[in-house]
């Protein structure tokens, strides 16, 4: 048992600015919203507001739903920034520049209405062309940039040619139009849509390493191009018309260029015959590994850019691809197959790591099983130790009412709740080795999970009752309570007052009447609510709906309490065994996996009445 908060107390203690920040918790440093409800109404201003070369860790910017019509650059001195869209399809960054546009200097400029009309009328002939590499919608020069859940589009072809989708006529002479231009190293796009026509994504800079995970990328000709080393995983690459998917220009001394791993190539109805790629420069390297290829892929697969000499250096590979376009019988002779050993060696760390610059890539969702063993291995096979009360200070502060609790991060000693918090924080923050208490992403998510609305204040701001822990973290969007969807689930309502009725068990409450009043207020609110639970006699009936890594809270029949224990569903092999409980056990004295299945574990505890089940929102 731990935690709680009083809304009235917070309103009294926090300034208006602090309260506004508290409404979004600690997960985001800034919020962009078109309607003015955030810190900024455009993305560029938010990026500009981040401290240059900020040393304190990653900075996270939430971008609310809306269409942001702007040209954005992340400068080299703005590092470790993450843009997070509220919704991938409804959070849209869009601009309309293209290579043949002219300005006085040849550099892109924000257009006036008159300039825009001149371009539409075909009159914008004066000045110098801005060229392909200035046509971007988003340019990334800042090290460690990440973007997720957003659409980034350069719609120049359709914007300047009315009715383009029906006519497919480029009467305005629109040229290359880059949606995303990346020069920086260690860049990740996760669950994004990258939309364009010719030259959609420019992976610039020889020494840049980039990841595109679960992304949708569309275009016409050479729409993924450049010299960077890039890992594409579970992406959809969509051809709008006939052309070339890739135009790599990998340096000869780089072992890898583009790796498409378990991706799916799709095509518009008018894209009936296109190539997987052509070498923009000698030594171009592209691998399609276990990808799905449509019938519209040309039988020869690859093109030499009308230069037979490039066939001698181009490094084009395919391995175990599927679909009608994966037929290799008529492929060009200078494409070859990966061997089984080469394919086994084709891992993100292998492709992206550099001897001079290690990059602990964490672009996927963190693996629940691996995270558990990361905790376990910290103690060389003994398991992370159980210890109650790690959040409580050795000495109480002089002013309990107005003090702010430190954010305790004891990853070596845990109770059931802190273990759940640390594991959840690692999964939500995609932290692969959750053993560093100073990891800024771990700290952010632990604070959000532990304190109401992520706002850390005095003792009463902790969510002591696990029912409140569930509802508040669900309200923050961190997880979902799925109990109501489970078989045999039923509603329950209980009187919750254990802490206030037993204040002598809690040193802070014993020493402060004002904190007791806050606890009583929260207890009244919890007592007025009902919640869904699965009675312990029916737990075996819900096995089919449980997932490995779901959070399990054990409801209680003890007077005044709601939940007395928590852990995770441990079920890595559903085909061969039943789910068990991964938890910090006071009986075992460490983090352990129950020796019996989940239902049997619950049945063995007299005070257990059933379970509630939560699932983290990991996308």
pLDDT digit string, tens, across residues 405-449: 999 999 999 999 999 999 999 999 888 778 889 988 999 999 999
> What is the separation of C-alpha 14 from the centre of its chain, rounded to a whole number of angstroms?
30
378 pLDDT higher than 90: no
Do 226 and 317 share a domain, yes or no? yes
Do 314 and 176 share a domain, yes or no? yes
- Percent of the chain scored above 90 by pLDDT? 79
User: In the structure, what pLDDT confidence band is assigned to residue 14 with cuts at 50, 70 and 90?
Assistant: very low
Contact between 180 and 150 (Cβ < 8 Å): no
37 pLDDT higher than 70: yes
List the beta strands (DSSP E) in 290-406: 315-319, 336-337, 385-386
435 compared with 583, residue with greater pLDDT: 583
Residue 6 lies in a domain: no
Do 61 and 170 share a domain, yes or no? yes
Contact between 141 and 74 (Cβ < 8 Å): yes
- Percent of the chain scored above 70 by pLDDT? 93
User: In the structure, what pLDDT confidence band is assigned to residue 353 with cuts at 50, 70 and 90?
Assistant: confident
The CATH number covering residue 458 comes to 1.10.3670.10
pLDDT tens string 255-310: 999 999 999 999 999 899 999 999 999 999 999 999 999 999 999 999 999 999 99
User: In the structure, what pLDDT confidence band is assigned to residue 375 with cuts at 50, 70 and 90?
Assistant: confident
Residue 7 lies in a domain: no
Count of domains for the chain: 2
According to the model, what pLDDT value does residue 125 have? Answer: 63
Do 136 and 239 share a domain, yes or no? yes
User: In the structure, what pLDDT confidence band is assigned to residue 21 with cuts at 50, 70 and 90?
Assistant: very low
Residue 8 lies in a domain: no
**Number of Cβ atoms within 10 Å of the Cβ of 113:** 7
Residue 11 lies in a domain: no
Residue 1 lies in a domain: no
Cβ-count burial 284-309 (b if 16+ within 10 Å, e if not) = bbbbbbebbbbebbbeebbbbbeeee
Do 341 and 420 share a domain, yes or no? no
The H helix count followed by the E strand count for the chain is 16, 35
**Prediction pTM value:** 0.87
Do 37 and 175 share a domain, yes or no? yes
Do 474 and 591 share a domain, yes or no? yes
Do 288 and 387 share a domain, yes or no? no
> What is the separation of C-alpha 341 from the centre of its chain, rounded to a whole number of angstroms?
31
User: In the structure, what pLDDT confidence band is assigned to residue 124 with cuts at 50, 70 and 90?
Assistant: low
Do 384 and 495 share a domain, yes or no? yes
Of 352, 379, 401, the residue at which a domain comes to its end is 352
Calpha distance 237→286 (Å, rounded): 14
Active site residues: 199, 222
According to the model, what pLDDT value does residue 238 have? Answer: 98
165 pLDDT higher than 70: yes
Residue 253 lies in a domain: yes
374 compared with 56, residue with greater pLDDT: 374
178 pLDDT higher than 70: yes
Do 484 and 384 share a domain, yes or no? yes
Count Cα neighbours of 199 within 13 Å in the Cβ-side half-sphere. Answer: 23
The CATH number covering residue 166 comes to 2.160.20.10
Q: Which helix (H) or strand (E) holds 93?
A: strand 91-95
Q: Taking residues 23-41, report their average pLDDT.
A: 87
Do 344 and 428 share a domain, yes or no? no
Do 263 and 393 share a domain, yes or no? no
According to the model, what pLDDT value does residue 93 have? Answer: 98
Residue 4 lies in a domain: no
607 pLDDT higher than 60: yes
User: In the structure, what pLDDT confidence band is assigned to residue 541 with cuts at 50, 70 and 90?
Assistant: very high
Q: Taking residues 598-606, report their average pLDDT.
A: 97
Q: What is the mean pLDDT of the chain?
A: 91
Residue 302 lies in a domain: yes
Q: Which domain holds residue 440?
A: 368-616
Q: Taking residues 359-373, report their average pLDDT.
A: 82
200 pLDDT higher than 50: yes
Phi, psi torsion values for 296, nearest 5 degrees:
-75, -5
Of 288, 322, 352, the residue at which a domain comes to its end is 352
Q: Taking residues 516-529, report their average pLDDT.
A: 96
Q: Taking residues 90-95, report their average pLDDT.
A: 97
Return the HEC string of 235-266: CEEEEEEEEEEEEECCCCCCCCCEEEECCEEE
User: In the structure, what pLDDT confidence band is assigned to residue 57 with cuts at 50, 70 and 90?
Assistant: confident
Of 283, 317, 352, the residue at which a domain comes to its end is 352
């Amino acid at each position: 048992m731990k935690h709680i908060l009083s809304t009235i107390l917070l309103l009294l203690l926090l300034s208006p600015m602090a309260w506004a920040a508290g409404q979004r918790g600690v997960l985001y440093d800034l919020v962009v919203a078109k309607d003015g409800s955030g810190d900024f109404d455009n993305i560029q201003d938010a990026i500009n507001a981040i401290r240059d070369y900020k040393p304190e860790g990653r900075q996270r910017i939430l971008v609310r739903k809306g269409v942001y019509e702007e040209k954005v650059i992340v400068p080299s001195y703005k590092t470790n920034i993450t843009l997070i869209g509220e919704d991938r399809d409804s959070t849209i960054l869009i601009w309309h520049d293209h290579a043949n546009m002219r300005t006085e200097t040849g550099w892109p400029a924000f257009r006036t209405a008159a300039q825009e009309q001149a371009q539409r009328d075909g009159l914008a002939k004066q000045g110098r062309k801005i060229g392909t590499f200035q046509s971007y919608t988003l340019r990334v020069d800042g090290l460690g940039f990440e973007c997720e859940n957003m659409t980034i589009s350069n719609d120049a072809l359709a914007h300047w040619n009315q009715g383009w989708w029906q006519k497919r006529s480029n009467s305005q002479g629109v040229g290359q139009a880059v949606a995303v231009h990346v020069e920086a190293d260690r860049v990740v796009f996760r669950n994004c849509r990258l939309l364009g026509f010719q030259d959609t994504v420019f992976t610039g800079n020889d020494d840049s390493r980039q990841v595109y995970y679960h992304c949708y990328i569309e275009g016409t000709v050479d729409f993924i191009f450049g010299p960077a080393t890039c890992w594409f995983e579970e992406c959809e690459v969509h051809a709008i018309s006939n052309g070339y998917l890739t135009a790599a220009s990998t340096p000869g001394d780089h072992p890898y260029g583009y790796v498409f791993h378990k991706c799916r190539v799709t095509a518009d109805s008018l894209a009936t015959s296109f190539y997987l790629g052509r070498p923009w420069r000698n030594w171009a390297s592209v691998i399609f590994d276990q990808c799905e290829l449509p019938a519209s892929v040309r039988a020869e697969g690859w093109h030499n850019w009308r230069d037979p000499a490039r066939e001698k250096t181009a490094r084009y590979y395919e391995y175990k691809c599927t679909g009608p376009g994966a037929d290799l019988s008529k492929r060009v002779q200078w494409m070859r197959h990966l061997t089984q050993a080469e394919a086994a060696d084709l891992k993100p760390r292998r492709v992206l790591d550099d001897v001079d610059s290690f990059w602990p890539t964490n672009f996927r969702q963190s693996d629940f099983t691996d995270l558990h063993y990361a905790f376990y291995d910290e103690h060389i096979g003994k398991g992370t130790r159980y210890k109650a009360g790690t959040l409580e200070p050795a000495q109480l502060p002089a002013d309990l009412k107005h003090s702010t609790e430190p954010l305790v991060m004891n990853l070596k000693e845990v109770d059931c709740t802190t273990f759940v918090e640390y594991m959840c924080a690692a999964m939500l923050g995609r932290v692969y080795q959750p053993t560093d208490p100073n990891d800024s992403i771990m700290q952010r998510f632990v604070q959000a999970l532990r304190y109401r609305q992520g706002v850390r204040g005095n003792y009463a701001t902790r969510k002591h009752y696990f029912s409140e822990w569930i509802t508040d973290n669900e309200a923050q969007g961190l997880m979902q309570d799925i109990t109501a969807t489970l078989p045999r689930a039923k509603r329950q309502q209980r009187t919750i007052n254990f802490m206030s009725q037993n204040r002598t068990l809690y040193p802070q409450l014993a020493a402060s009447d004002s904190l007791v009043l806050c606890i009583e207020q929260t207890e009244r609110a919890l007592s007025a609510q009902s919640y869904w639970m699965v009675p312990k006699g029916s737990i075996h009936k819900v096995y089919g709906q449980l997932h490995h890594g779901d959070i399990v809270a054990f409801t209680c029949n003890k007077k005044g309490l709601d939940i007395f224990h928590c852990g995770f569903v441990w079920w890595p092999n559903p085909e061969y065994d039943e789910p068990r409980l991964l938890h910090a056990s006071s009986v075992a004295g460490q983090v352990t996996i129950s020796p019996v299945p989940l239902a049997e574990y619950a049945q063995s505890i007299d005070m257990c009445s059933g379970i509630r089940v939560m699932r983290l929102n990991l996308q």
